[in-house]
Amino acid sequence: MQLLLEVGIFLISIAVCFYLPGKLLFTKLKLALGSPEDLFLPFALGIILFTLISYVFSWLKLEFIILPLFLVISFYAFKSKKWFPKSIEKFHRWPLIVVVVLAVIFSLSMLTSGVHDNSIQYRRDDLWHSALINELKANFPPDNPGFAGIPLRGYHFFYNFLLAKISNIVFISPLSLHFHFFPLFVAILWGVGVYALMSVWSRKVSIALWAVFLTMFGGSFAFILRLRGHENLSLDSAFGMQQPATALINPPFSISIVIVIAVLFAIYQYSSTKEKGWLIIIVLCVGLVSMFKVYAGIILLGSILLFALLQLFKKNFIFLIACFFIGILFTVTYGIFRDPSSTLIFAPLWAPHSVLIDNMPWYGYVEKIYTFTKLSVIRGMVETELYSLYVFFFGNLGTRLVGLLFLPLFLFKQCRRPSFFALTILIMAAISILIPLFFIQSGKVFEIIQMAWYFLFFASLFAAFGFYKLFSFPYSKTLKVIFFATILLLTLPSAYEPYKGYFGAIQSRGSSLSDPYFKAMQFLRSEGNYNQTVMEIPDKNIGATKNDVLNWYKASSPAIVAFGNKRGYLNNEYIDFIGINIEPRIEFIRKIILFNNMSTDNLKYASLKKEVGHGLKNNKISFIYSPYPLLFLENINFISKIYENRAASIYRVK
């Protein structure tokens, strides 16, 4: 019953907060939407509008206005009598059913996790996102949820912000939103968006369906390495890039794809119709996308700047005005929260090198480069580097290569050069692969490979044209079925491993919410409010040395913030924010361990007791969570034990 209630509330909330405001803006801009883009663009634009308006009111501390405002907007949209989606044309109906089915399968990566009955399944990143959602539900601007009191900088948190605001105004559990409702919603938007974009661009339903399939389930050639006996290599990421079957596990990436599709659609329509209203859509989406996923921001901002330069040659100066407003939105969002210490570091071809060194050691890349360099064999060095690029691109593109190889035949058949819109996507694809090929980033270092995931997305759009051409030849139906089955057989192995894990998760059911650990989390959640800081104490076998506590911290998680709904004093967030100095917090926890293990006869006992007491007050610690009883802390008069089971002891600091 609770699930049905939450489903109903969620459907109403996305209609009121996303669809109707987005639809109203399209109506006011007098931008005509056909079918099926009318099912996608109002939602995509509505997400941007809701996020922007919530962002402004959060700065003004007027969050209570958000829901009434969107209710008024929705009422006005109803009143205009242009809010209902257009009737879907008959030839789109069955393909869209296929798209929705693919989207549901695509979303299983998240639907099989989360809370089910009395159990919970989660991954490492889920803890970080849940913790950040809890932080944004309570505070804006946000602090680091795992480092209480330290402002959050250098992270694109608009996905978490969006879920936090929806949770606050309609009272849906953040866990339900993160694990179930938004993944399915985003998956459907992804599928319908790609289908709508490719339908308008290609005018071919089959091309649109190929694009949906490839952007969701396109696979690498990693299975070739498995067939050669290398059983320990991942079918998903053996060649350095994760394939899209696992995309929803990274929510900022998946929701940014929805925004990228909306921008592509707006660019296509603006290029075709010259209607200035589409520039407003471009400004809103490109201006905010960096706070959803910074890599998407780099790709879109770079391509839009090049697009603006090309427009200048046509003496179209209005696009410069659009770029000015994009700059304003970028500055007042990402510009405020960026980490000035974060930089790009030149590391040419690090990704292909990593593939050969880590996953194909039998090739002997290090030895070959060392030998060729030592002997000044230029040809050998060049051939080795070219081989690394060949392996990287051939391996990661997988069956998309087949479509890309047939793409020139499609263009030749059409007797035309690539369109201006196609060149725009090509520029985006180039940016998305060249930057991660030649740079790493400070702090998160190799995470920049995530930018290459967009390259696979853009490559899939082009490959769809090639697959259409492949099946347009006058083969017999039997041969076409064989070709189709072969392509599926060569494409889907990358998805096999993740989906095997998803279905395994259904059977294992994960951790029971009745376990002592989650009982302790439920108790902690019920005490006080989020802004009361909890300090987590290491396991009893952790020593009181700096290295011991540091190693414990590196292995820790933001689970207390995610499940206990309290900001943490020192919890690993899985991201190295290079501006944060954790040493004082490591040292203070070390002193607590030392004090708890110290005899009252020790000469340093009294002074250390006083130091611990002052430290707890100065750091505004409200709760202490320990996996074992802290007997000596109980002797401090302002500390009292409020909960205990075999998994944890929880203390209140008065």
Q: Kindly report, residue by residue over 306-335, the tens digit of the pLDDT.
A: 888 887 887 778 888 999 999 999 999 999
- Band (297; pLDDT cuts 50, 70, 90): very high
Dihedral pair phi/psi, residue 597, rounded to 5°: -95, 0
Residue keyed to tokens 């921008």: 263
Least confident of 143-157, 214-228, 318-332, 405-419: 405-419
State the average pLDDT over residues 599-624.
86
Q: Where are the domains of the chain?
A: 2-121+153-501, 516-653
Q: How far is CA 355 from CA 333, 352, 552, in A?
A: 36, 5, 30
Please report the pLDDT score of residue 419 as a whole number.
81
pLDDT at 613 over 70: yes
Position 612 confidence tier, pLDDT thresholds 50, 70, 90: confident
- Cα 467 from Cα 473, distance rounded (Å): 11
Q: What's phi and psi for 439, nearest 5 deg?
A: -135, 150
Per-residue pLDDT, 632: 78
For residue range 346-389, list pLDDT tens digits in order.
999 999 999 999 999 999 999 999 999 999 899 999 999 999 99
pLDDT tens-digit map of 387-398? 999 999 999 999
Kindly tell me if the per-residue pLDDT of 523 is higher than 90: yes
Alpha-helical segments (H) within 107-220: 108-111, 124-138, 158-170, 174-176, 182-202, 205-217
Per-residue pLDDT, 256: 98
* Dihedral angle, C-alpha 5, 8, 11, 14, nearest 10 °: -50
| Cβ contact 627:537 at 8 Å | yes
Q: Are strands 621-626 and 533-536 parallel, antiparallel or unpaired?
A: parallel
Task: Report the alpha-carbon distance of residue 416 to residue 443 in Å, rounded.
Answer: 46
**Over residues 292-300, mean pLDDT:** 96
pLDDT band at 414 (very low <50, low <70, confident <90, very high): low
Given a contact cutoff of 8 angstroms between Cβ atoms, the answer to whether 560 and 536 are in contact is yes
59-94 confidence digits (pLDDT tens): 999 999 999 999 999 898 888 777 777 788 888 999
Q: CB under 8 Å to 186, separation ≥6 — which residues?
A: 107, 248, 251, 254, 255, 258
Q: Is the pLDDT of residue 417 over 70?
A: no
Please give the average per-residue pLDDT across 402-422, as a whole number: 79
How much is the average pLDDT of 9-16?
95
pLDDT of the residue at 295:
96
Phi, psi dihedral angles at 610 (to 5 degrees): -65, -40
DSSP E strands in 316-405: the ranges are: 344-346
One-letter amino acid of 11 = L
What pLDDT is attached to residue 621? 93
CA 565 to chain CA centroid, Å, is: 22
Q: What is the mean pLDDT of residues 587-616?
A: 85
- One-letter amino acid identity for 288? L
What confidence score (pLDDT) does residue 506 get?
66
pLDDT band at 415 (very low <50, low <70, confident <90, very high): low
**Alpha-carbon distances, residue 462 vs 403, 410, 411, 431 (angstroms):** 8, 11, 11, 16
Checking if the pLDDT of 431 tops 90, the result is yes
- For CA atoms 231, 233, 239, 244, the dihedral sign is positive
Share of the chain above pLDDT 90, in %: 67
Q: CA distances (Å), 419 to each of 137, 268, 416, 422, 426, in order?
A: 45, 10, 8, 5, 10
* pLDDT tens digits along 137-169: 999 999 999 999 999 998 999 999 999 999 999
Alpha helices in 15-142 (DSSP H): 20-28, 41-59, 66-79, 90-106, 108-111, 124-138
The reported pLDDT for the residue numbered 88 is 85
Q: What percentage of the chain has pLDDT greater than the value 70?
A: 98
The predicted model gives 526-550 an average pLDDT of: 91
Stronger pLDDT, 328 or 120, i.e. the higher one: 328
Which residues face 621 on adjacent strands?
A: 533
| CA diameter of the chain | 93
Between 186-200, 260-274, 275-289, 566-580, the lowest mean confidence (pLDDT) is in: 566-580
Residue 34: per-residue pLDDT: 86
What angle, 0 to 180 degrees and rounded to 10, lies between the N-to-C axes of helices 182-202 and 90-106? Answer: 140
- Report whether pLDDT(475) > 90: no
Mean pLDDT, all residues of the chain: 91
Question: Dihedrals φ, ψ of 441, to 5°?
Answer: -125, 150
β-strand pairing of 621-626 with 639-644? unpaired
Q: Is the pLDDT of residue 214 over 70?
A: yes
Q: What is the value of pTM for the model shown?
A: 0.94
pLDDT for 505: 67
The H-assigned helical ranges of 536-575 are 546-555, 559-564
Beta bridge mates, 653: 639
418: confidence class by pLDDT, cuts 50, 70, 90: low
Query: Are the C-beta atoms of residues 253 and 225 closer than 8 Å to each other?
Result: no
Q: Before 141, cis peptide (omega within 30)?
A: yes
